[in-house]
Amino acid sequence: MHGRVKMRAQFTKTVMDIGEDEKVVLLVGDIGVWGLRHFKEKYPTRFYNIGICEQSMMSLSAGLAMAGLIPIIHSITPFVTERCFEQIKDDFCYQGLGGNIVSVGSCFDYAGLGCTHHCYSDIAIIRALPRTQIIYPASEIEFDLLMKQTYNNNKLTYFRLPQKKHSYKFSQDQIKFGKGIKVSEGKDITVIAAGPQLENVLKAKVDLENENIFPEIIYIHTIKPLDKDIIRNSAVKTKRVLTIEEHNILGGLADEVSRNLEDMGGVAISRMGVNDEFITDYGTYEEICKSIDLTPEGISKKIRMMVNE
């Protein structure tokens, strides 16, 4: 739970900074009101708790953008993406307007609350809309820098904030919108990780290197637009690519990576994530990860299989 508090706390800090831009308006769907109280105190005319009506909140935010303002729309992942998909499509993307959606509770973060509160299709649906950008940060510095780099670039930018973080420390100049980060050099397989799963990949790497398997690890915080070059340059070398994400294996990082490798012959591609099924168990985030092999052991096993094939 600690991780969630940190990412949300970073959201409140980052919007305080961005709020200095008088065009920025923050709208929440009846969540985070306490955490964002300082924003409300400092910018009282630019904070709105719109209530539990995400579709209207989305269209209303598009109206603000039409009048030249920059909305930041905040709620829980399925409600601020799947529920108001048509509003994002028609009222932001088709109109040609810019805005920012910041969701919390990604994938199965709300493990015990069941499928209505899980969301493994958000990246797939938003990715399929023209004029969108998708940013999936899993440490505070990533969110802070990427939001500051993109919030006013007149695109619809979706920030997916996970509850958990990875512990890898990036330097400030490593974090650039649209650019992947090579976390470790390797030669046998390219492992492309998004979100908190970087942590499990790094743990898997220690065991694998003891077995003389050297994965090249690429971390992706910007799913769209994807850093095509970093992935292709690695795939040419290793000839094996594995994607790892907390999302349906259909429609997310895996598809975006595959799409960018489809003209390259001789590369074996595989994917790990939610296996196109509803996760109907409850329990904890860790228990659900384990049930779909998103653990250091599960990832090592998959990599061994691919390398030894």
Partner 1 sequence: MRGAEEDLKKLRKDIIEMVYKSKEGHLPSAFSILELLFVLYGDFLKYNPRNPEDSNRDIFILSKGHGSQALYAVLAHYGFFERTNLFSFCKFDSPFGGHPDRNKVPGVEASTGSLGHGFPMALGMALAFKIQNKPNRVFVLIGDGESEEGTIWESTMLALNLNLDNLIVILDKNKSQYYAYDHNHVKIWKSFGWHTLEIKDGHNLNEIRNVFQEINKSEHDKPKIIVAHTTKGKGISFIENNREWHHRALNEEEYDKCMEELK
Site residues for partner 1 per CB under 8 A = 25, 45-46, 48, 50-51, 53, 55-56, 58-69, 86-87, 90-91, 94-96
Rounded to 5 degrees, φ, ψ at 217 are -105, 125
Closest CB 115 distance from partner 1, rounded Å: 22
- 3, 104, 196, 239, 298 from 163: Cα distances, Å: 5, 7, 9, 33, 21
Closest CB 29 distance from partner 1, rounded Å: 11
Query: Which of 10, 75 has the CB closer to partner 1?
Result: 75
Closest CB 52 distance from partner 1, rounded Å: 9
Closest CB 68 distance from partner 1, rounded Å: 7
Closest CB 119 distance from partner 1, rounded Å: 21
Strands of the sheet containing 268-274, edge to edge, are 181-184, 215-220, 189-194, 240-248, 268-274
Query: Which of 55, 258 has the CB closer to partner 1?
Result: 55
Query: Whole-angstrom Cα distance, residue 58 to residue 208?
Result: 46
Q: How many CB atoms lie within 10 A of CB 125?
A: 17
Query: Which of 59, 174 has the CB closer to partner 1?
Result: 59
The owner of tokens 């690429």 is 218
Query: Which of 53, 264 has the CB closer to partner 1?
Result: 53
Query: Which of 19, 195 has the CB closer to partner 1?
Result: 19
Calculate ∠ Cα 253-294-228, nearest 5°.
Answer: 20
